[in-house]
Structure 1
Amino acid sequence: MPGENFPNTGSLRERLDIDFALTSAGLGVWELDPVSMQILWDDRCRELYGSISDNYLPYDKAIAYVHPDDVSRVNDAVHQAFQLTSGGNYDVAYRTIGADDGKLRWVRFYGKASFDEQGKPYRFGGVAQDVTRDMENLKSQQAAQQQILDSFEASPVGIALIDRHELTFQRANPFYGELVGRTPDQIVGKPLLTALPELAGQGFDQLLQDVLDTGIPFIAKDVAVALVRNQVLETIYVDLTYQPQRPVNRTEITGILVIATDVTQQVLSRKRVEASEAQLKSIIATAPAAMGLFVGRDLVVEMPNQAFIDIVGKGPDIEGKPLREVMPELENQPFLQILDDVYTSGKMFQSHGSQVNIVQHGVMSYNFYNITYTPLFNEKGEVYAILDIAIDVTESIRVQQKLQETQAKLQETIELAELAAWEVDFTTRKVMYSDRLRDWCGFEREEPLTIERAYEVIDPQNQLIVKAAMDAARQPLNEGQYEAEFSVYCLKTGQKRILHAQGKVIRDEQDEVCGIAGSAQDVTLQRRTHAALELLVQERTEELASTNEELFTSNEELAHTNEQLHQANDQLIRSNASLEQFAYIASHDLQAPLRKIQQFIDILVRRHQDTLAEDSRLLIRIQESAHRMGLLINDLLAFSKISNGKADTQEVMLSEVLAQAIDNLSVAIEETSADIQVESLPAFLGDARQLEQLFQNVLSNAIKFSSKDMQGSATVPCIQVTYQQVQSYELPLLAGWAPVYGSYHRIRVQDNGIGFEEQYADRIFGVFQRLHGKSEFEGTGVGLAICQKVALNHEGFIQAQGRPEQGATFEIYLPVQRQ
């Protein structure tokens, strides 16, 4: 109960059920009475406070050994844990000052408070541990990172540090602010899409999240970024690096270092003459620990566990197969030879952190393992198998490498950007140049430099520019920023370079300007390229102007030619119209005398068929010829009517129109036992009479031109009518016709008839065009010409495909949603 005396330290351990485990983990246990505010803790907790003599003491006495800067934070954490709304959770890291040794330690106390039915705390306890080393490592890394970031403040490379939480900017140097069109103060402390809302939808937030999730750096060149700069949305190009950041001795990623180099001018210049794109993708597969038995000299895989099967990545069917067959990728690696040596010598082999390249599910992976090859002996003392035990240490190896390389990679960034460092001391008038800058200027590596000596290599015409920039940087209004672009001549070779330098003033303890430090970049190639491209653009502009004059002259000539073509086309239209009118009048006027001829012949045949004997055959032939002529005149009249008349447009159901055409052919269908399969057709704005004629003519041909079997008998016509809506870009190419609608109805009629040679696919749509003799198949050669005319009247077209004895296919295309 609250306020009662605590049990001794031993019973405390028993009650919390921690003894050996806590000692092994370096943890101490403690308990604070919420009523009496008395603390009971074990010897480990006393050591964290510098060996306080008592295991039982007041809270105020213990708090006296907490660092003054942390006292309020500890008190607030205890007070918060006593609130029911907090759930009783308590977790705080702070510094203690040793009671006996005065030593500063970082400790972490965490635990939980328990509450009674009235919501008051009646018990509060937990564990404690020494986190001094972790805190010191964290501070060392932060200090190193801060030192590097400070060195980039004057760099012409944009650098920013983004925190994992909501992708919030922690740091940004001035050049990064210049790149994104803001000052660092405008973006630091804000989430990415809040500071730079125009980046939404460009994918950079997802790239950052991918780096945080996978730990794989993102490096890309010539990345296009749309940014609002000077109140205008513009696209710039940068060489971009996203480098994951981890605390020392920790695996989790806490943020991302962003490095952006402005390459807009280079990219824009290059895009005028060529376009290029490069991508790099890498896949790193990890695998868990594995065990397997390699039996015999051939190393046959036996008793593999699931982890081994997963690592091998060749599926479950690997047992009973030689290792060389299962993993041929090991041929160029040392492990097969090592296994052979173990089998021969009988000596165990161990290695730590060995890289093994394995093709897993068709993909090469590069992982690290602690490997143990243990020989197994039979009763004769002979090696009969090797036990392979592999522990996957890929993550720890990579974390170790990252921790070791973090400092180096940040430093390498300067080299990748090809920057040179410099510093000027106004007090001593001494100048410090990096090795790269000394090479550019022709100075020896060990030569001491002064301001006067540095000016000797600067183009005399640019020396005033450099001096003015230096003076301006020292003025308060410029916030200590230095920037200048000038030419230098190498003392050794005479080579001229154009340098772009940026820097920031250095202040002494009295806040007086005592120097300037910064970086320089060789922009010679960019400036020369830019100048060359400007000249090239000017030349191309002049050539274009000359070409435009020639085109203007050619356009006038083409206009004259087009006018002549229009006149010829109008004359052709008039001629065709006259010809169609003549065909209509001629066929119409021929019908009356032809009917009389047929009537007279029919009378003669009935009256004199028996008396004329042999000559009656001539009358019958005259009768048949008159009949064919009648059919020809009727078809020609139908063709003329369709050619002269416009389609009577109204909404019709194509399925109903097709059904009527099939009914019109019922006699022929019954005689031939034709099988016609029809899919549902859509509604359409068109002339029902013309469309019925189109379907009837196509189906009539499919029935009429049936093929014959091996005995010479006609086969049963099988006809399929299918429908599909297609887009205009899916239409076949057709000479003299181009689609004007976005989509079309495609009605396909396919038969099993005699077919035709593909070379006649266009000819069959001509008037009076026949591919067979009159004795083989009856007809006038006008039916398909009528079909084509109907399709054209409805702003569509018809085409045919066929192969001899393999049937024919007619495709009718009609526009969708005609108005």
Structure 2
Amino acid sequence: MTDQSMPFPFRSGSLAEQERLRYAIQAAQVGTWNLDVNGQQVWWDQRCQELYGSAGGPVVSYQHWRQLVSQEDQERVDKAIKLALDPSSTGTFDVQFRVRSRQDGSWRWLHAQGRAYVDILGAAYRLSGLVRDITAQVQTRQQLEISKARFRSLVLHSPTATVFFVGEEIVIDTVNAPMLQIWGKDESVVGQPVHQVMPQLAGQPFVDLLRRVYDTGEPYHHQQARGQLVIDGHWQESWFNFSCNPVYAPDGTILGLINTATDVTGQVVAIRESEQRYKLLAEQLEQRVAERTKELADAIDDLKRSNDNLQQFAYVASHDLQEPLRKIQQFGDLLTSQYAESLGPASTYLERMQAAASRMSRLIRDLLNYSRISTSQPVAMAVDLGSLLTQLLSDLDLVISESGAVITVDPLPVVMGDAIQLSQLFQNLLTNALKFSRTNRAGELTTPQIRISAQFITHAQLPLTIQPTRPAVTYHRIDISDNGVGFEEKYLDRIFQVFQRLHSQNEFVGTGIGLAICQKVALNHGGAITANSQPGQGATFRVYLPA
């Protein structure tokens, strides 16, 4: 061997070229070495000595050099040297091992590479090469393996279908049982690219989405993503809540992808079935609405014809029926005035005829009033109930005077309504209070005591039996109380019906329509009417009107 004093492994080329190469090696922080196979000595440069942590000088024995290598790695280094010196091998030397740092005593990783030089007989006499510090790379690789192990553990123990992909080819690194169940695969898919495991995904965007996340680092999420997989040899359509996130290595590069999938096929199918049912129900409802609309239109037409007939009846009743009654009453009056004495006992029949005609006239009049109220809408305007009652009492002054009635009227509110209809309501109630007077033990009529009062109440204070036709927040309650004959409350619903009477004509004259008119007026105004009474203890009628 020539010029072994210089530990430079590459002697070919000019001195200038060797010098440039030396500077390049020094700049790369790489150490150079030569192993004399026969002399068992090692020549190395200053950088190589620093990397090994040796203070033995530029030339050391092979055993000294070997002892600097970690005991755990010495056997591996020996095998690498033996292989490089074997004439049947390529003569290359490549091995990684640990040495102790002279500064802090920590272990550092070195990567030695070189080649063997042989004589004319083919026997190796020298091994020359380079060595560099790869501690940072090894530590990064170790951290990477720790990260991979952590992710593998997370994937395997996740209750959600999860897979960990690595590399640009989107290779399956780790996959848990729920994801394998979705795929219809087993653990043999680990280590294979996903497009090879499931070639049916070629025409679907799944793989492209994974590659885009790997290339850009941008996460991807999709709710109810549709996918088609071949399960047990059959195409199966499914829907998933899909999520893909990049996983970064310690150096900031993308290590792989975490992909999770939640099978929501059942929910999607249920929603679609619900939508179909809803669509069918909507069509049925639309058809039913059309039928009901037609029925309602027909009913409105019938009601219109009925109202027309009722108006015609009202016209007939007010003219054609009333006119004969007026003739009967007029001729009866003539007979009574001119021939009463000559008629003798027959005059009794004439009086009864006159009374019947009078009742018939009142009945027709009341029916006309009820008909008009039933077919006409109230004219909404502000009505002062106090002024209205004052006018009614003035109209009833003769009856009040004859009965000696004592009527007390408290302050009454102003309401929105039809003055004519409200006048009919309170006139009928006052007339009844004056008419249904009771007698005392001596058979004498008691003096009527009537009180009219008002109270402001809320909707929550309405009795449960009261159902106004127009809901409101507040109401006016007007009470008309008397000390008359009263009635049993079991007949409460009956007294507001047309032609329903609790007393005979001999006891109290009437047509049985007045209270029905009162109820109709109250309903027309969005309110209601009821009563409280006991036989012989008078009655109180309560009218509820929206405030």
The alignment's TM-score, normalised by the length of structure 2, stands at 0.48
Q: Which has the higher helix share?
A: 2
Q: Which has the larger radius of gyration?
A: 2
- Compute the TM-score of the two structures, normalised by the length of structure 1: 0.33
Higher relative contact order (CA 8 A, sep 6+): 2
